[in-house]
Amino acid sequence: MTASTAMPDPANHPGLRLMEATAAVLRGAPLQADDPVGGAFLDDEAPLAMAPDAADRALARIEALETIDSRASEAAAVRAGRGLGELLMLPDPLREATFEALADGRRWKFLGFGIRGLKLQVGGEGDTQLLRIEPGANVAEHDHEGEEYTLVVTGAFNDGHARYEPGEINIGRPGFTHEPRAEMGEVCFALAVSFGEPRFGFPINVLQKLTGG
């Protein structure tokens, strides 16, 4: 984790507001006091209750996605069913944003072996996306063009500097190089808000361009 500097105001950025709401649902215990983003997000925060119609909205999203899945092969439908099961376990604010992106035609994108990303349509500068990282998969070592905030939602990862569990936020800034690797056992879902592209070394940067990453 980098040293504390001024962070974007969550109240003025929809992606960070989504991260704030998701972190508030996730936390079972306060984040570390020296976590600048965690402290700013969660200090004196009251737990968020699930919206009264959250279950109905989730079921409606599932029905819409299942209609699409029914046109796929049986094997693809089984995989989609497993994927839907994973998405249902996401905290309510993030689950809704994910279903909205899928319903609007957004698709998971290959970001590396065992890693996929889904860009969420929340608006604001930079990119807000949900990452799905298979157990043991890792993001190649990289630096950052701008600030990057990553909230662990399920599973855990270690970036070579520290370990991050659900509810904890990893911060990357220019000059901070790390290599996040998901721990074995559970799929790691993470919500990332980035203000600039990651800086990979050769040959990863070439592969990234070829795959549209």
Q: What is the pLDDT of residue 187?
A: 95
Q: Please report, in angstroms and rounded to a whole number, the separation of the first and last CA atoms in the chain.
A: 24
pLDDT exceeds 80 at position 186: yes
Q: What is the pLDDT of residue 69?
A: 58
Q: Quote the percentage of the chain above a pLDDT of 70.
A: 66
Residue 47 lies in a domain: yes
Comparing 118-127, 170-179, 194-203, the range with the smallest average pLDDT is 194-203
Q: What is the pLDDT of residue 212?
A: 44
DSSP, collapsed to helix, strand or coil, labels residue 7 as: coil
Domain around 69: 10-211
148: alpha, beta or left? (left if phi > 0; alpha if psi -120 to 50): beta
pLDDT exceeds 90 at position 153: yes
DSSP, collapsed to helix, strand or coil, labels residue 106 as: coil
Residue 5 lies in a domain: no
CA distance 88 to 59: 9
Supply the pTM of this predicted model: 0.69
Work out the average pLDDT over 161-178. Answer: 90
Q: What is the pLDDT of residue 204?
A: 45
Residue 2 lies in a domain: no
Q: What is the pLDDT of residue 75?
A: 45
pLDDT exceeds 90 at position 45: no
pLDDT band at 82 (very low <50, low <70, confident <90, very high): low
CA distance 55 to 59: 6
Residue 168 lies in a domain: yes
Residue 30 lies in a domain: yes
Residue 1 lies in a domain: no
More confident residue, 83 or 192: 192
Residue 4 lies in a domain: no
pLDDT exceeds 60 at position 51: yes
Q: Which two tokens stand for residue 11?
A: 């109240």
| 14: CATH | 2.60.120.10
Residue 68 lies in a domain: yes
Q: Provide the domain count of the chain.
A: 1
